[in-house]
């Protein structure tokens, strides 16, 4: 029985070492019509596809759906007006409230606690069929690090993030990419520390609607987060919160 016990212990250790992605469904409704049946399951599939786009293997993370959900009453975008959303507690959401949606709805604040290292909150917006979500934000990411912002020091076990995104694979990949230190390629987040001085091609961090790949320097940065550690990295007691990134 000893080999079996050792095997089970190894599996348990492996499970503990996985990144945890905690999905909080946000059901978008309009005129009493909500997302189609199976929208959440389809959204989970898109999350997995997005993780594949940024080069994270299915064995390196686990997805759990939180036993809570939220609902937004939204108007579809038209030729003269963008999407506008109302929440039952918060009323009509301003641009700033939508940008910080996890904080607006009181789910993001605790992500700075140490027990959330290695855990990601993803608020997944599920839309009614043929709903036009436009003229507003499509997703935003906020993240924390307990060992600074030098890209060489980053690791998924020492960071946490709170993200929201419409359930569309390239958008999900873009927002989740920020969780691993990926910057915009247009300079809107400042100089990109991941630039390798060789490849400046456009990837999903800049052309997120059309381009579904990462250039080598960004792909390497993501993989750096999942490197094997000889020993746990030193972490500070108090994390530093990064800027929100769209």
Give me the residue spans of the domains in the chain.
Answer: 19-237
Domain 19-237 has CATH 3.40.390: yes
pLDDT at 215 exceeding the cut of 80 = yes
Going by pLDDT thresholds of 50, 70 and 90, the confidence category of residue 152 is confident
Listed residue (123, 169, 128) closest to 36, CA to CA: 128
pLDDT at 83 exceeding the cut of 50 = yes
Quote the strand ranges of the chain, DSSP E. 19-29, 61-65, 70-75, 84-87, 91-92, 119-126, 139-145, 159-166, 240-241
Average pLDDT over residues 219-223: 94
CA distance 178 to 148: 15
Joined together, the tokens standing for residue 121 give 């909150």
CA distance 218 to 149: 15
pLDDT in tens, 91-127: 999 999 999 999 999 999 989 899 999 999 999 999 9
* Percent of the chain clearing pLDDT 70 (strictly above): 91
pLDDT at 208 exceeding the cut of 70 = no
pLDDT at 165 exceeding the cut of 70 = yes
Q: What is the pLDDT of residue 156?
A: 96
pLDDT in tens, 176-186: 999 998 988 87
Q: Which residue in the block uniquely carries the two structure tokens 């999903």?
A: 204
12/165: higher pLDDT? 165
What predicted TM-score, i.e. pTM, was given to this entire model?
0.89
Listed residue (48, 211, 72) closest to 136, CA to CA: 72
Q: Which residue in the block uniquely carries the two structure tokens 């230190």?
A: 181
Q: What is the pLDDT of residue 243?
A: 72
pLDDT in tens, 43-77: 999 999 999 999 999 999 999 999 999 999 999 99
187/83: higher pLDDT? 83
């Amino acid at each position: 029985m000893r080999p079996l016990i050792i095997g089970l212990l190894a599996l348990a250790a492996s499970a503990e070492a996985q990144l945890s992605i905690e999905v909080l469904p946000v059901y978008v409704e309009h005129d009493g019509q909500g997302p189609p049946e199976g929208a959440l399951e389809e959204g989970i599939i898109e999350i997995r596809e997005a993780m594949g786009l940024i080069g994270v293997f299915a064995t390196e993370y686990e997805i759990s759906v939180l036993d809570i959900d939220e609902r937004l009453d939204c108007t579809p975008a038209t030729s003269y007006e963008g999407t506008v959303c109302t929440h039952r507690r918060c009323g009509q959401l301003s641009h700033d409230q939508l940008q910080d949606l996890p904080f607006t709805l009181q789910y993001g604040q605790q992500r700075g606690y140490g027990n959330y290292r290695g855990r990601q909150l993803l608020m997944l917006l599920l839309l009614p069929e043929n709903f036009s979500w436009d003229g507003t934000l499509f997703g935003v990411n906020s993240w924390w690090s307990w060992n600074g912002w030098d890209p060489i020091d980053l690791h998924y076990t020492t960071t946490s993030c709170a993200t929201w995104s419409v359930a569309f694979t390239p958008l999900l990949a873009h927002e989740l990419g920020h969780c691993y230190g990926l910057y915009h390629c247009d300079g809107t987040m400042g100089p990109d520390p991941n630039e390798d001085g060789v490849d400046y091609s456009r990837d999903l961090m800049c052309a997120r609607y059309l381009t579904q790949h990462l250039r080598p320097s960004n792909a390497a940065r993501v993989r750096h987060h999942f490197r094997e550690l000889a020993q746990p990295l030193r972490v500070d007691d108090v994390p530093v919160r990064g800027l929100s990134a769209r």
